[in-house]
Chains A and B, each alone.
Chain A
Amino acid sequence: MNAPPKAIAGTSTFLDERLGAGSFLKRNLRKIFPDHWSFLLGEIALYSFIILLLTGTFLTFWFKPGMGHTTYLGSYAPLYGVQMSEAYASTLHITFDVRGGLLIRQMHHWAALLFVAGMMVHMLRVFFTGAYRKPRELNWLIGVLLLSLALVEGLTGYSLPDDLLSGAGLRITQGVALSIPIVGTYISFFLFGGEYPGHDVISRFYSLHILLIPGILLALISAHMILMWVQKHTQMPGKGRTESNVVGAPFYPAFMAKAGAFFLFTFGVIALLGTFAQINPVWLYGPYTPADISAGSQPDFYMGFLEGSLRLMPAWEFNLFGYTFAMSVLIPALVPLGIVMTGLALYPFLEQWVTGDRREHHVCDRPRNNPHRTAIGMAGITFYGVLWLLGANDEISSTFHISLYTTTILGRIAIFVGPAIAYFVAYRICIGLQRKDAEVLSHGVESGVIKRMPNGQYIEVHTPPAEDIAAHIRGKKEIPIIEGGVDGEEVPPKGLRSGVGRLRAKMSKAYGTDHVPFHEEEVEEHAAVGAGEHKQLH
């Protein structure tokens, strides 16, 4: 093709004359996107969100967010004639009387799970590779906000069908709201329009779920994308990749097509799950009544850690000056969430404070190359994971025949011990992997060739590692340590003389010290490396 088709050329000219789109496209059509499997994780979340908007809109065409009593007269026989809310009746209508309704409803639920799961693994990728560092701290904060909002979006969403299970979630939400000191009762009464459950909460959650929160999510996701575009994506260390370039495939046509295919993959997998993996079969639960509950009630997975922390907490409540402090609800509901979210939001700034590192970073760290960060991340995952597992301790108890109370007590221990063990193990693994890297650089890789030396000694010939692997390993960057006062020799700078300053210097030294520096000059010296006997690793 030597000239663009008339239709495209004409439209382009029309737009360019009115928008000046040409210069934008000139700069961006061949924008380079680096390639790594882990960079796709965030895209899962992005595409799930688009699918949520599409499927959610479909559901709104039939869903009636009302709590008024109605008698079910639809085609699901087991509930025929049963008193229920309009919300639940319309959910049954979507399921059994709208063609494709069940499919879209299940896809919506699966997409929601995939949305949150995608965000979580994407966030872990960004954390462990240090991709949140300058200049990307703001995008990291947007991400933390997105995750928090997604949890609220999920909670308001699965409360809408008003079945027995979703009601249990609402009840717990209300119980938690009640426990908040001073304003708790008011929050509960304002949220539910009076006493629980009232007649307003479904319609209020509905407007939050389909308008307010998705609107904010959409705005924040757009900002997230624009920042990523302007700042350019980070890249993994490798041959020819530096802090001042980006190596990869151009947006048009390769990245565009890849992204399109990945959207379709996400869509296809969600359709697959929506078809064959039943989720939230609300027709089996029956309408909500605060007087009943089914055993084994579980929230969606992303709420599991809150459920677990509520289960884990020992009974603790006291009265002071005639007021009640319901610590056995307050602590588990707010503290773990606070630790996780605040910790995530502050981490980039704490790390900068400890390392004094004000440089821009565009090449990702391999997780092993910042052992303390990786260990902190693993400790966080373990903390979250223990809470999450304990959210299903009744299932664990019945599946593995462990006493229910034993699981709780083990969980109470694990929540403190687990993260410490995870920290230590992850740290040691990182150091071990770094040693392996150092060995590859300094001694090369085993070639499989056994050589007999003139003196009769047998050695295995090592060859230098493949160029790209070596470049990948050499991508390790030193972590800065704030200067002075650490060894007690010279006079520390002013900011480090206080107690906090000394602690900061100590932490900086621990965080930044490289325990496995590379000594590549040994490659030549090492007798076992046979020059000229290069062998590709792969």
Chain B
Amino acid sequence: MTDNNIERPEGRVVPARVVGTPPAAGPSLGEEPVHAPPGDPGVVEQDPAAARRAERVVALLFTIAFLAGAGFIASYVTFQVGDIDSTATSNFALGGTLTLALLSLAIGITVWVRQIMPKYNLVQERHAMVSDPETREYVKETFLQGANESGFVKHGLLRRTLLLAAAPLGLAPLVLLKDLGPLPGTVLRHTVWGKPTENGKPRRLVVEGTGQPIRAADFNSPGGILSVVPEGYEHDLNELAKATLILLKLRQEEFKSGTNLNWTHDGIVAYSKICTHVGCPAALYEQTTHHILCPCHQSTFDAADGAKVIFGPAARPLPQLPIGIDDEGYLIAKSDFHVPVGPSFWERGDAEAEARETKS
């Protein structure tokens, strides 16, 4: 900005004009040409000797770019992919040569511009964007003339029926989108825990990943934690998004009033793993404090006290699932959750209060 002080005197090309006054009628894109006659003070040629020296630097850089570009093609042919190590090698070879080629080219062109091309300090006039009054008047007249000639103003029936015709067509695309999804209905209120299995038995809790059912007697060390999914739905992501549980074993005396002890079995308690804030799995458990933490937004729930919220943006406790054991001693769901799991939604209402009412 300050490396060049040579300028044209103000207003030599076009007389200085007051901002806001109409410009000369000109083309819509661009202005009159800027000529830079030889010896223009706005164009300062570089020293020819320095330019020749710069040329050698540029040529070297362009040659490097050529070699690196050729190296890129060679790397593509030479280095195969297929496992982590070979992919890494190929990536470094391809990326390294590409980077070198691009940056050498970029630096070369920069040297060319800065040390071989002249230094410029040219001046071009600006014009206010507004059209001159005659043009504006002409456009206004033409608009009125056209509007009147078309009869759009005079023939009201035509105008109104045209608007009428456009209305449904404008709505049509929106209507077409209706089949993007089914209506919500009440599916957000229920999970598969309430649905008996095909042979009519209550649904077992199985370990996420292995699909093993859990024998209550085996899950007996206090402080234990399991991520649990419903039997038969181990790979159904829609159901997992609602029905996944966090299964905890606490000492009987550790429970506080928030937990419904009738819904536990021998110190084993099951809470929905889906955070009531925006639905991330509340996957972190701190054994000593019984805190369940959601890693997304750090809502913290007290597992000993009905998973009530201790900190963070979640507004409701993680719902507790009533669990028991079947005749083989495996953990089962005694019923569905009594309140909808997961994030709040408009139609949810005060489901906790409703649940309390139906119970009493």
Instruction: Enumerate chain A interface residues (CB-CB to B < 8 A).
Output: 23-24, 26-32, 35-36, 69, 75-77, 83, 95-103, 106, 135, 168, 171-172, 174-176, 178-186, 188-198, 200, 226, 229-232, 236, 238-240, 242-250, 253-254, 257-258, 260-265, 267-269, 271-272, 274-276, 288-297, 307, 310-317, 319, 322-324, 326, 328-329, 332, 359-360, 362, 393-394, 404-405, 408, 466-469, 472, 538
Contacts and interface: CB of A to CB of B under 8 A. Distances in A.
Interface string B262-276: 000000000001100
B91 A275 contact: yes
Contacts of B102: 264-265, 267-268, 271
A403 to B, nearest CB: 11
A324 B346 contact: yes
B298 interface: yes
17 contacts: A27-B29, A75-B83, A96-B83, A103-B94, A172-B280, A200-B181, A232-B126, A244-B125, A246-B125, A249-B122, A265-B103, A271-B99, A276-B95, A316-B315, A324-B345, A324-B350, A328-B277
Contacts of B296: 168, 172, 293, 297, 310
A184 B345 contact: yes
Question: Binding site of B, secondary structure by majority: helix, strand, loop or mixed?
Answer: loop
A16 to B, nearest CB: 15
Interface in B92-150: 92, 94-96, 98-99, 102-103, 105-107, 109-110, 112-113, 117-118, 120-126, 128-129
A133 B44 CA distance: 33
B169 interface: no
Interface size class of B (residues with CB under 8 A): 35 or more
A180 to B, nearest CB: 7
Contacts of A96: 81-84, 87
B90 interface: yes
Given A186-B183, A275-B99, A295-B284, A245 B36 contact: no
A38 B182 CA distance: 51
B281 interface: yes
B61 to A, nearest CB: 11
Given A32-B123, A261-B110, A275-B99, A194 B181 contact: yes
B348 interface: yes
Interface string B158-187: 000000000000000000010011111001
Contacts of A196: 238, 241, 279
Contacts of B258: none
Contacts of A404: 298
A64 to B, nearest CB: 18
Contacts of B92: 275-276
Contacts of A135: 128-129
A86 to B, nearest CB: 14
A179 B344 contact: yes
A30 B102 CA distance: 27
A240 B237 contact: no
Contact of A261 (B36, B109, B123, B244): B109
Given A230-B29, A275-B99, A290 B346 contact: no
Contacts of A229: 29-30
Contacts of A103: 91, 94-95, 98
A491 B347 CA distance: 57
Contact of B90 (A27, A100, A176, A408): A100
B277 A329 contact: yes
B2 A257 contact: no
Interface in B229-268: 229, 235, 237-238, 240-242, 244
Given A99-B81, A102-B91, A174-B278, 16 more contacts: A29-B33, A96-B81, A185-B184, A230-B29, A232-B124, A244-B126, A245-B125, A246-B124, A248-B120, A254-B113, A275-B98, A276-B95, A324-B347, A326-B345, A329-B278, A394-B295
